[in-house]
Chain A
């Protein structure tokens, strides 16, 4: 169990949450403005639909809540986004969001971490979206740099 400090401290098997979350129309509109998705489903509908890419921000929310000291000594680099959505999510809907650090591993001198996130309806418990996020815990390849030195 390695919660409470840096995300780079997280260990395989660590569970983050679940926590109750409500995504507001403001949050959807701001996010979609930032990536230039001006579809009426995000900007004009009341309540707007939540784009499936926003599940990535639920990972960041879990990080902020459970690893409040930040990423650790090195910047984290996002490597893979992998989401499946089973039903649309609307702004204002009460959700339960939980994460599991499913794997930490080394590949070609870099360390990777997978986190599996589920979003469920808080009222019915229905699974709405599943997300696997893979990050490189440090872009700098220290082993390769040591070899070069």
Chain B
């Protein structure tokens, strides 16, 4: 099973310029709903799922009243999809120490299809055989237009 840590391979060395791309994912209304509900669920932390909203992420009328044409995705969904790709690429080492910055430069509307991308910008050798990767990260829509952009660092053990 791929998710069993014992079966997960260490991250292969990557070279500057190399790009890693996720499978495309559609930003459905349901995915936006899951995130809206996760926030009060985590805050209440009582073992039950709580319903969030109304917000610009789940209620068309509310979004329109705020000057939007319809609901837009919470930017943190795309940030998490980028983190997911970092974990798929580098394994759990990415959780030990690192950084991630994402800027939401365009709204993500319902049913936009997003692909997350990591591009290796720099690889630095550290003590004890560790490597630090500097990455450009982004999510792009089906036309290739970036909607979320940023950078990340990951330190990988020998």
Contact of B95 among A23, A49, A138 (CB under 8 A): A49
Q: Is the CB of B83 within 8 A of A40?
A: no
Interchain CB contact under 8 A, B83 and A139: no
A56 and B75 alpha carbons, distance in the complex (Å): 11
Instruction: Specify which of A33, A36, A41, A78 is in contact with B74 (CB 8 Å cutoff).
Output: A78
Chain A minimum-CB-distance residue to B102: A81
Segment from A5-13, A83-91, A98-106 that makes contact with B: A83-91
Residues in B neighbouring A56, C-beta threshold 8 A: 76, 79
Residue on A nearest B31 in the bound complex, by CB: A36
Say whether A37 contacts B83, CB under 8 Å.
yes
Chain B: minimal CB distance from A110 (Å): 11
The yes or no answer to B89 lying at the interface (CB within 8 A) is no
Query: Does B67 have its Cβ within 8 Å of any Cβ on chain A?
Result: yes
Chain A residues with CB under 8 Å of B104's CB are 77-80
A87 to chain B, nearest CB (A): 7
Q: Identify which of residues 78-116 in chain B touch chain A, using a CB-to-CB cut-off of 8 Å.
A: 79-81, 83-84, 87, 92, 95-104
